Amino acid sequence: MACRLSEIVVDSRDPEALASWWAEVLGYRVLGRDEDGAVEVGPEAGSGGAAPTLVFAPVDRPSPGKPRLHLDVNATDRDQDAELGRLLALGATRADVGQSGDESWHVLADPEGNPFCLLRTRLDPL
């Protein structure tokens, strides 16, 4: 028996706004809100499905320094360039983490500055 990744928890200054942003990016919906202000988003199947959910937990100040974890995303219904345009229009910004410029992916940051990568390969939707 092995474990399965079920949730990814992201510290956030504004969980509602960041959860809404990532839900739009991933085509997810809000699955729940905790009394402490955390917001969980995920696919229509909800938690326990094929894809992990994202939980945005409230913090006053995110931990300083380079994050030890980032998300990679792939477009499902368009090519990488079109998806890059969509993400930038939603409020993503380009991020520099020391890449050479020859990579096949784009490094971006969400509205709170969390880095993520847009990969080239198109995936089938869940």
Percent above pLDDT 70 for the chain:
99
The answer to whether 55 touches 8, Cβ cutoff 8 Å, is yes
Residues 3 and 50 in one domain: yes
Q: What is the mean pLDDT of residues 58-64?
A: 84
Q: In angstroms, rounded to a whole number, what is the distance separating the alpha carbons of residues 79 and 77?
A: 7
pLDDT digits (tens, 9 = 90+) for 108-118: 999 999 999 99
Q: Report pTM.
A: 0.86
In a domain, 64, yes or no: no
Give the domain range for residue 53. 1-59
Residue 70 pLDDT > 80:
yes
**Which CATH number goes with the domain that contains 17?**
3.10.180.10
- pLDDT tens for each residue of 9-32: 999 999 999 999 999 999 999 999
* CA 10 vs CA 1, 100, 114, 119: distances in Å: 27, 27, 9, 20
Q: Given a cut of 70, is residue 1 above it in pLDDT?
A: no
Beta-strand runs (E) in 13-70: 29-33, 39-42, 53-58
Q: Which of 50, 59, 79, 47 is nearest to 10 (CA)?
A: 59
CB atoms under 10 Å from CB of 46, counted, come to 12
Is 55 in contact with 38 (CB distance < 8 Å)?
Answer: yes
* pLDDT value of position 33: 97
Asked if residue 53 and residue 9 are part of one domain, the reply reads yes
Whether 46 and 79 map to the same domain: the answer is no
